[in-house]
Amino acid sequence: MAEQYAIEMRGITKTFGSTVANKNVDLAVKNGEILALLGENGSGKTTLMNMLSGIYKPDSGSIFVDGKEVTIDSPEDAKRLGIGMVHQHFKLVDVFSAADNIWMGKEKPGFALSKKRYKEIDEITKKFGFELDPEKKVYNMAVSEKQTLEIIKVLYYGAKIIILDEPTAVLTVQEIERLFGVLRRMKEEGHAIIIITHKLNEVMDISDRVAIMRKGEYITTVNTAETSEQELTEWMVGRKVDLNIDRPVVETTRPLLEVRDLTINNDEGATAIDNVSFYIRGGEILGVAGIAGCGQKELCEAIAGLRPIVSGQMIHKGDNIVGLTPKAILEKGISMSFIPEDRLGMGLAPSMSIIDNMLLKKYRDSKGPFVDRKTGREDAERVIKELEVVTPSAETPVRRLSGGNVQKVLLGREIKAGPNVIVTAYPVRGLDINSSYTIYDILNKQKTEGVGILFVGEDLDVMLALCDKIMVLCHGKVMGVVHAHKTNKEELGLMMTGTLDLSEKYADKPAGFARDTLFEDGNKKEEQE
Amino acid sequence: MDKLGVITSFIHNIIVFNIPLLYGTVGEIVVEKSGSLNLGVEGTMAVGAIFGYIFGCYANSLGVGILVAFLAGAIFGLLFAALTVSFQANQNITGLTLTTFGLGIYFFVGNSVKSTGWPVMADYENVKEGFADIDIPLLSDIPLIGRGIFSHNLLVYLGIIIAVAVWWYLKHTSLGLRLRAIGENPAAADSVGINVNRMKYIHICLGCGIMGIGGYYMGLNMSGSFNSSCWINGYGWIAVALVIFANWSPAVAIFGTFVFGFFNTLRVSGTSIAAAFPETLGWLADIPAQMYQALPFIITAVVLVVTSIRNKRGSSGLPAALGLNYFREDR
């Protein structure tokens, strides 16, 4: 007897205009199984899953639920069939409470809204083993809470088949552990789970089987226990890939950017960065590690001139940059690229083409009142070619690109401007292996050319391999700056949580002050030594 | 006694002259809460006005007039919904077009009827009497304010009832919750199985129907005298602004309508108030008529500036997806 699948897709094809997003894809999941769907950015994983959740309709192919053929025309149909999807960009109403976000999709909720709904949702939340205040508004929630809410939502609607689209991209290490615990429990209860990810260690950790897609095509499905990260990578990328990150040794220059006693407030007026000092030399990558929301965003914005500082000094090659306009800072060669948690928001205009986005930072250079689109086009095409951006053309609006390609365009534009200091936050957030390595290569190339890089990251393994030094932040305070080759994950983890404070490690040298500083008083100190 | 009578009549006028704004505002709130920005309030009210008035007179029934006005507005809303929801047309342009189109229908139908004999409201007993003031027992006997607030025609009471009902519907019913979800984030609403397009159609038609009744009211309040200027006279536009002032709450809209109406009515009652209280309020008569005419629009501008400053996160009733068409497969 053939094995009964909870859900099975056969020969699914989906095209958008002339782009083939999915070509003849097969996929099957059993009850009580976790299937990882693995593939690079833009390989059609999300599109495929959106056909299960009713967002898209396949052009051809068939879908079976519990062995019976079904058609899914709308999310309503999917819900009725017991398919629930946690989308990568959460589908939540910000101004609603947690309970209302669930309640709005409830079948037969009754005509009048009563306060009892909070109690019912609270009970359900506890029954599923989660913790969430049902009256909390979504805009007050942290990312992990929003995700929890999404999971409770699909469970509440009675989903048997649960799809999670890159659920770990925005979570911290501890949150991922917790999520995986939840997934394992749901698996034991007999749910069929599909998890989209491109982090190989997670695939190995959580899944029973792995389905691999490449450029819209289905490659194969393998048992997780019988494969390795190396093998999966080769299937995913289609060729052998070196999983090591280079850390070229470059002769460093005197400090390019020095920050002393910097204090910054966040939007609510609380202290985000508290008396922080550090410096970046040309030819080095300084990593910034810390739990999400420890002032990383505020720090980046302050350096770029987008946020006023409370006190402290920032000098670039000996010149003060505090109080300069973002434009003046840009002209000094300091470039900032920040990939926010939702990966869309910042730095690019989504509806404009790649060319126009290239021009956003350059239009002032054109002679006369007209924009020089010719150079813009050349720049755009060079970035597309050098960084292997997957796009139908340079005229394509940025929002039509997949996440990784958007990030390549953003970073590509920043580098085009020829900066000497690059501030980049989460440049590989949500990116697949190939794209991530392209980004690391770009950064390393800049480093060897003598650029100083501030790299705000989240993956400690990557930071340990890529950065020369790592500064650890905890609640806006520096817990110390360590050499990447002399430390390890455990030490960084302890510093991130504030358990270990190495900021006073060297008694002879204040933390974050360069010996050969370009600050006036520092020079004197140097002469004395 | 006479002086008090002036105040009573001033209060009365504030309500009588400005209730159409409440209809327009509440109707537009229903539409906007579904995420659709309909700038065609003026045209929708005009269509409701002309059809409601003519059919109400022909049938010699206020009820028929109200029903026809509602339907005419709703059909206009259906047009807006078809263009913006099904055909994804730009909402701003569609709304502006409907204003022009509605006023065109108003004059076309009005003039056609006029050439064969205009129905004069005084000849239709049931319409005239149906629109007469109804005293609410006891309350209308309160000195000074009683006859100003509690002695009005049926449509005034209906307008207040609709506003309160819509407020309750939006805030305290499951359907209202779903409607708000669509206005905030249609993709989220869609993903939990709410039929976004159907909800939009229904509420756009409902809101436009309410506007239609407001238009009908204006026609009746001018005793149905049809001449070169439209009955609606810019009230539709003021309603669009009042929605913002009311922060998308029908309850606040009642308050907003009367605050606005206070200034609007000074134009009419200013001279008689000045005459009744020459020592304290005599200066009201010195304000030029043009100033009074400009006042409603100056107030509108001030209100828009003030409300735009007020916006704090979570406190704004502005639907986040207002003005954006929803297409499920859009990325």
Same domain, A80 and A156: yes
Residue at B27 is within a domain: yes
Q: pLDDT tens digits, residue range A293-339? A: 788 888 888 888 888 899 998 988 888 888 888 888 888 888 877 76
Q: What is the SS3 assignment for B244?
A: helix
- Give the helix/strand (H/E) hosting A262: strand A255-265
Q: pLDDT tens digits, residue range A223-244? A: 999 999 888 888 888 877 677 7
Residue at B319 is within a domain: no
Same domain, A275 and A224: no
Q: What is the DSSP string of A23-87?
A: EEEEEEE-TTEEEEEE--TTSSHHHHHHHHTTSS--SEEEEEETTEEE---SHHHHHHTTEEEE-
For residues B25 and B243, the answer to whether their CB atoms sit within 8 Å is yes
Residue at A27 is within a domain: yes
Same domain, A318 and A360: no
pTM of this structure = 0.79
Residue at B316 is within a domain: no
User: In this predicted complex, what is the ipTM?
Assistant: 0.89
Q: What mean pLDDT do residues B161-165 have? A: 97
Same domain, A136 and A219: yes
User: Residue B281 and residue B265: Cα distance in Å, rounded?
Assistant: 15
Same domain, A168 and A288: no
Residue A61, domain CATH: 3.40.50.300
For residues A191 and A31, the answer to whether their CB atoms sit within 8 Å is yes
Residue at A1 is within a domain: no
Q: pLDDT tens digits, residue range B114-159? A: 999 999 999 999 999 999 999 998 888 888 888 889 999 999 999 9
Q: Closest to A105 (Cβ–Cβ): which among B184, B192, B320?
A: B192
Same domain, A282 and A354: no
Same domain, A303 and A170: no
Tell me A97's DSSP state. B
Q: pLDDT tens digits, residue range A382-425? A: 888 887 888 888 888 887 787 678 888 888 888 887 788 888 88
Kindly state the tokens that stand for A134: 């049902």
The per-residue pLDDT of chain A, averaged, comes to 85
Same domain, A270 and A130: no
Q: How many domains does chain B have?
A: 1
Q: Residues of chain A whose C-beta is under 8 A from some C-beta in B?
A: 53, 55-56, 74-76, 79-80, 85, 87, 91-96, 100-101, 103-106, 109-113, 137, 139, 153, 157, 399-400
Residue at B331 is within a domain: no
pLDDT band at B254 (very low <50, low <70, confident <90, very high): very high
Same domain, A176 and A272: no
Residue at A435 is within a domain: yes
The number of CA neighbours under 13 Å toward the Cβ of B135 is 9
User: Residue A57 and residue A191: Cα distance in Å, rounded?
Assistant: 24
Same domain, A261 and A233: no
Q: What mean pLDDT do residues A269-274 have? A: 85
pLDDT of residue A367: 73
Residue at B118 is within a domain: yes
User: Residue A383 and residue A381: Cα distance in Å, rounded?
Assistant: 5
% of chain A beyond a pLDDT of 90 = 35
Q: pLDDT tens digits, residue range A451-501? A: 899 999 888 888 888 999 999 988 888 888 889 888 888 888 888 877 788
Same domain, A288 and A355: no
Residue at B155 is within a domain: yes
User: Residue B215 and residue B28: Cα distance in Å, rounded?
Assistant: 13
pLDDT at A91 over 80: yes
User: Residue A415 and residue A335: Cα distance in Å, rounded?
Assistant: 8
Kindly state the tokens that stand for B158: 């209906």
For chain A, give the number of residues: 529
Q: Using the beta-carbon criterion (under 8 Å), do A55 and B178 form an inter-chain contact?
A: no
Of A368, A385, A418, which closes a domain? Answer: A418
Kindly state the tokens that stand for A320: 């003060």
Residue B253, domain CATH: 1.10.3470
Q: Which amino acid is at A156?
A: Y
Q: What mean pLDDT do residues A163-185 have? A: 87
Q: What mean pLDDT do residues B195-211 have? A: 97
Q: Using the beta-carbon criterion (under 8 Å), do A112 and B172 form an inter-chain contact?
A: yes
B165 touches chain A (CB under 8 A): no
Same domain, A231 and A121: yes
Q: What mean pLDDT do residues B96-110 have? A: 96
Question: Residue A452 to residues A28, A280, A287, A333: CA-CA distances in angstroms?
Answer: 48, 6, 11, 11
Q: What mean pLDDT do residues A342-370 have? A: 75
Least confident of A43-57, A143-157, B99-113, B269-283: B269-283
**3-state helix/strand/coil string of A413-477:** HHHHCCCCEEEEECCCCCCCHHHHHHHHHHHHHHHHCCCEEEEECCCHHHHHHHCCEEEEEECCE
Of A171, A202, A237, which closes a domain? Answer: A237
Residue at A250 is within a domain: no
pLDDT band at A524 (very low <50, low <70, confident <90, very high): very low
For residues A454 and A426, the answer to whether their CB atoms sit within 8 Å is no
Which residue segment(s) compose the domain that B175 sits in?
Answer: 2-310
User: Residue B39 and residue B25: Cα distance in Å, rounded?
Assistant: 12
Q: Which amino acid is at A452?
A: G
Of A401, A418, A435, which closes a domain? Answer: A418
B195 touches chain A (CB under 8 A): yes
Q: How many domains does chain A have?
A: 3
B198 touches chain A (CB under 8 A): no
Residue at A246 is within a domain: no
How many CB contacts within 8 angstroms connect chain A with chain B?
Answer: 83
Which residue segment(s) compose the domain that A260 sits in?
Answer: 255-333+419-528
For residues A349 and A340, the answer to whether their CB atoms sit within 8 Å is no
Question: Residue A81 to residues A8, A45, A494, B198: CA-CA distances in angstroms?
Answer: 13, 21, 46, 21
